[in-house]
Amino acid sequence: MQWPELEALSINVYLHRDDAISPFYSGNKFYKLYYNLRNASAQGAAAILSFGGNYSNHLYSLAAMGQELGIQTIGIVRGYETAKLSPTLEDAKSFGMKLYFLGKKAYKSKDISELLPILNKQYGHLCLVPEGGENLAGVRGCLAMGTTIDQRMRNLLGDKPYTLCCAVGTGSTFAGLIASSPRAHCVGVSVLKGVDIISPKIRRWLSLLGKKELTGWSLSNEYHHGGYAKVTPELVEFMSRLEALNTIKLDPVYTAKLLWAIKELAIAGYWDTNNREAPQSTHIVAIHSGGLQGRRGFDLA
């Protein structure tokens, strides 16, 4: 990346462009949904059902991938239906996804007990995927991310170590990355505010993958900018500047917060070679996990 402040600190940041996979199922959701869709096909499911909010990257990607593969998708949306759908849901619908709305309270516990008999009757056997694709199939899909990056970094740096940084929502992508990046130190940047409920989940995924011994990772909880999908003017300005310098687009929910954290940690000396708590590498790979369609939920250029 072109990033003068970090270059001045002798830190090289490489952006892994998973946003370039496709505008429709870009980024980590492609990996997280890959085995979920394959499993649904293998089970002979009539449709695949999942959950998300009005600007959900997950529902959007699921709808697009379902259309591509000829699999019926059903989106359970948090909240009540409004007269005008969000652009995300409008697109999901045009990709063939059937949308149902669930009040916030029922949504919280993903209680679809009233809806399920109706859906079963209408569609037949349904395959359920958790919100955000947070299941073992989702984590497994992300193993390909770490493996690809490792190969590329070997080509660039030989055997030298590198650091892998990734925005973290549910932590399932990050778990897959850790499991497939034994050579890298992995730093996750949580976009959620509050007590860390993610680290135990990551340990559980690693354990299920038989990779419990991998401890070269840490999760940062300090760069959420007020919580999920909250933005500050500083964040938006920072994001626009990096976008212009690198001819890329970022999203304010995930990737802008990730890069912000990398900058803050660099300033704090986290990546200094004498910091024993941190990865001893000045080569940092930041994952561009996509999510650009979600920019439409914000008033951005």
Ligand X SMILES: *Cc1c(COP(=O)(O)O)cnc(C)c1O
DSSP β-bridge partners for residue 75 = 50, 99
Tell me how far, at minimum, the Cβ of 170 lies from ligand X, in Å: 3
Kindly tell me which of 28 and 282 has the beta carbon lying closer to ligand X. 28
C-beta of 138: minimal distance to ligand X in Å? Answer: 7
Site string for ligand X, 15-44 (x = CB under 6 A): ------------xxx---------------
Stretch that binds ligand X, among 156-164, 235-243, 250-258, 273-281 (CB under 6 A): 250-258
Best CA proximity match to 249, nearest among 12, 20, 3, 32: 20
Contact 254, 224 (CB under 8 A): no
Q: Rounded distance, CA 12 to CA 212, Å? A: 30
Is residue 256 involved in binding ligand X (CB under 6 A)?
no
Query: How many other CB atoms are there within 10 angstroms of residue 236's CB atom?
Result: 17
How many angstroms separate the CA atoms of 236 and 249, rounded? 12
Q: Name the minimum Å distance from CB 95 to ligand X.
A: 17
Number of separate helices (H) and strands (E) present in the chain: 12, 9
What CA–CA distance (Å, rounded) separates 200 from 212? 12
Please identify which residue in 36, 67, 73, 173 interacts with ligand X, judged by CB under 6 A: 173
Contact letters for ligand X, residues 196-225 (x by CB under 6 A): ------------------------------
Give the residues lining the site for ligand X (CB under 6 A): 27-29, 57, 132, 167-174, 251, 254-255, 289-291
